[in-house]
Structure 1
Amino acid sequence: MVSLNQTFDGPLLISAPGKVILFGEHAVVYKKTAVAASLGLRSYLYLENRNDDIIHLEFPDVDLNRKWKMSDLPHPLPYKAGHDDSHHPMDMPEDLKQHLLSLINGDDFENDSARERAALAFLYLYLCLVKPGESRGLNICVKSTLPVGAGLGSSASFAVVLSSALLIHFGHIMVPKQVVVEEKVQERSNEREETLAAVNRWAYKAEQVIHGNPSGVDNAVASYGGAKRYTKGEGFSSLQGFTSLRLLLTNTKVPRSTAVLVAGVGAKAKSFPLIMAPIMDSVQAISDECTHLFEKHARGEASKQEILERIEELFDLNHCLLMAMGVSHPSLEQVRTITSKHGMTTKLTGAGGGGCAVTIVRDVLNSKFVDTPQETIDNAVKELTASGFECYETSVGGPGVGVSLLEPEWNAATLCSATRSELEAVKEWRWM
């Protein structure tokens, strides 16, 4: 266990999940409840000390490879252990803005690319969290098994692994004492809750640098894992009784603009208020039904079989409502047609207009409920892939951020070249 305010010198591997919206897309803009859950696809960050004063940051997924001399960085910003101020990171003094812009070779904060924004988020957190008098550089590599820019919370996952690594390395939080099995993740001590709260706060600061004014639900899911309910203006809360579900995630690879899709729904709501209002109310009812279903599961009043049967129905209902809002796409309907042919239920997730779809995979053992055979999944994946889509067999509702203390043969280059299967084979995670 590392003590507070004592730099942790060992190499670290941190991982955090992405997220999927299960219910409530678009309606959340109108203060209806959305349900989001952690995704089995994760981002990974490796951190190690260097023997010089160079900070080397690699993030191959966004083509980021930058080096800075520590002497070229601005003076560290003051760290507050109970950091909860309401100041937006981008409200920093103008001279600091210009200094950081010069370090990322950016033009301005509004128009910089994902690569520059990621570099800027790192520099901001580093300056806030670095230990006074620190003279050694760092190698940091980030690798994600999440499709970047697909609406699956890849930036929040990046923000969480980044904040966790820097908080641990500079002694602001402690490495979890023991390995915690996934089933025990909910049974956290107050110390762990404080640790996660710190990770989540600083990850949100990084998300503000990247996105401006995010809701905070993506970084909360990546930090805590499980599932969250989110209502605009009311914040988020944990979904009690949520159980891990297997999913087939399909990336249509069709680009879309979230802003354009949101504006389209807004135009419909303005033109047809008496039609759109009941649609939004129905989405709220779906999120509420999902909540009640898992609360019953927590009380032992609903089996996994019952949950899957109802979730499939809710998936179908929610997707049809999203179609009525005008945010589906021929590619998403094609995914639904193919998976339906194989007996599976699919809905779009996120903004729609392309992007990703999620398909329920039945996996109840020792019951009369018909599981989804692996052969069926393989056949569906084969057909989806032949149609130009990218598929991932994964799950939702798993743990949030975790730490692995690696063997010496690992280094930054190892992570940057690692495959998804190699990353998922890492054991002995210490879940925060």
Structure 2
Amino acid sequence: MKKSNVLVSAPGKLMLFGEHAVLYGNPCIVTAVDQRVYVNVEKVGGESIKINAPELKIDNYSIKVSDLGGVDYPKEVKFVLKAIEVFFKKYKIVSGLKIDTKSDFSSLFGFGSSSAVTVCMVKALSEIFDIEVDNKSLFDICFKVVLEVQGVGSGFDIAAAVWGGTIYFVRGGKVIKPLKISRLPLVVGYTGIKADTTTLVQKVAKLYKSHEKKIGEIFASIRVIVEKAKIALENTDYLKLGELMDENQKLLEDLSISSIELGSLTKAARRAGALGAKLSGAGGGDCMVALANKSKTAKIREAIEKSGGVIIDVKFNTEGVRIEK
């Protein structure tokens, strides 16, 4: 049944294993976090699209449907507008819309807010225009949107937003395997620095071009770690998981995408008793994760804060995209 108004939410994500290597056809493991993006979409008369996104300082931005695809979109609403453009073109729709967005988390953290908002937008449009879209179709549409906006990507953050939970993933959705796990006792520390994902991806691409054998070997080692981590997660083998996190971190340092701040926080967490610690995501900044024994959690949190990190309280392995109302 068609709805004239719908509120959709989708989770952010944290990469657990396989950063950068995933862009070269290797698997990764990503988990959805309980910090969510919310998008309310209302179908209105006429052919204007109006967007309010207070957290992005967007107040009543307006564009005509006929201008979709023909003008440069403001950076803050690029993913929202590209999602509408792709969806309308695919399903031959013309309609006015009123859109309001809000988020539980800052886009600074590297939790994948762009992908989450894209997933919310496409899911909301499918509800409003009564078009049945299963999870894989939703993923495919959103992946197309993200590629059209930024030119490169693997889609793991889209998969986390769509399916939720913890996912074993291969680029482009070639493999999307939800893992059955009970809990993830992780502590997340934010460096205070926003990572420049595009620059870091380009940096690794240049390294790969100039040192293909060496970087290829690093990617192969990361691939082995991901496969072992998948088993350790499913078996709740936290000792092994911690070892694998440390190994993955060392390989990411070999790729030169860690930073002084990330190194400082991961080392502090280990000294405080973490079973393992590594950066999460593109590197250069954003967040790190530490695997914590319950008895050591407070000590690890304190160590991260004393080293200049900010603790981000999140739950992991959480629900994917959902209709709120």
Matches of 1:17 and 1:96, distance apart in 2? 27
Among 114, 119, 124, the residue aligned to 2:75: 114
Matches of 1:212 and 1:236, distance apart in 2? 21
How much has 1:223 moved relative to structure 2? 0.5
Say whether the 8 Å CA contact 2:37–2:101 is kept in structure 1.
Answer: yes
Query: How has the CA–CA distance of structure 1 residues 204 and 269 changed in structure 2, closer, same or farther, with 3 Å as cutoff?
Result: closer
Among 47, 53, 59, the residue aligned to 1:59: 53
Matches of 1:164 and 1:139, distance apart in 2? 15
1:44 aligns with 2:38: yes
How much has 1:155 moved relative to structure 2? 0.8
Cα RMSD (Å) of the superposition? 3.2
- Scaled by the length of structure 1, the TM-score of the pair is 0.65
Matches of 2:94 and 2:209, distance apart in 1? 57
Q: Match of 2:266?
A: 336
Query: How has the CA–CA distance of structure 1 residues 376 and 65 changed in structure 2, closer, same or farther, with 3 Å as cutoff?
Result: same
Matches of 2:208 and 2:223, distance apart in 1? 16
Among 114, 118, 121, the residue aligned to 1:162: 121
Among 184, 189, 202, the residue aligned to 1:250: 189
Which amino acid counterpart does residue 376 of structure 1 have in structure 2?
Answer: K
How much has 1:374 moved relative to structure 2? 5.9
Matches of 1:36 and 1:382, distance apart in 2? 25
Unmatched segments (≥5 aa) in structure 2: none
Query: How has the CA–CA distance of structure 1 residues 15 and 132 changed in structure 2, closer, same or farther, with 3 Å as cutoff?
Result: closer
How much has 1:97 moved relative to structure 2? 3.3
Aligned positions of 1:28-107 closer than 5 A: 28-48=22-42, 55-68=49-62, 72-74=64-66, 97-98=69-70, 101=71, 106=72
Query: How has the CA–CA distance of structure 1 residues 359 and 199 changed in structure 2, closer, same or farther, with 3 Å as cutoff?
Result: same
Structure showing the higher strand proportion among its residues:
2
How much has 1:205 moved relative to structure 2? 3.6
How much has 1:352 moved relative to structure 2? 0.9
Matches of 2:119 and 2:201, distance apart in 1? 27
Q: Match of 1:321?
A: 251
> 1:367-425, CA deviations, whole angstroms, 9 ceiling, x for partnerless residues?
xxxx24664365346435xx2x43312132222111222xxxxxxxxxxxxxxxxxxxx
1:8 aligns with 2:3: yes
Matches of 1:270 and 1:169, distance apart in 2? 46
> 1:13-64, CA deviations, whole angstroms, 9 ceiling, x for partnerless residues?
3111122221111223443322222222221122346688764311233332
Say whether the 8 Å CA contact 1:57–1:140 is kept in structure 2.
Answer: yes
Matches of 1:44 and 1:278, distance apart in 2? 41
Query: How has the CA–CA distance of structure 1 residues 8 and 35 changed in structure 2, closer, same or farther, with 3 Å as cutoff?
Result: same
Which amino acid counterpart does residue 167 of structure 1 have in structure 2?
Answer: S
How much has 1:163 moved relative to structure 2? 0.9
> 1:96-128, CA deviations, whole angstroms, 9 ceiling, x for partnerless residues?
633xx1xxxx3xxxxx65225135325415634
How much has 1:254 moved relative to structure 2? 2.1
Q: Match of 2:281?
A: 350
Unmatched segments (≥5 aa) in structure 1: 75-94, 107-111, 174-193, 363-370, 406-432
> 1:108-159, CA deviations, whole angstroms, 9 ceiling, x for partnerless residues?
xxxx65225135325415634889686xx54421112233154322111001
Which amino acid counterpart does residue 156 of structure 2 have in structure 1?
Answer: V
1:404 aligns with 2:315: no
Say whether the 8 Å CA contact 1:19–1:222 is kept in structure 2.
Answer: yes
1:284 aligns with 2:219: no
Query: How has the CA–CA distance of structure 1 residues 253 and 319 changed in structure 2, closer, same or farther, with 3 Å as cutoff?
Result: same
> 1:295-333, CA deviations, whole angstroms, 9 ceiling, x for partnerless residues?
xx3xxxx3x3x2x22211111110011112211100101
Q: Which structure is larger by alpha-carbon Rg, 1 or 2?
A: 1
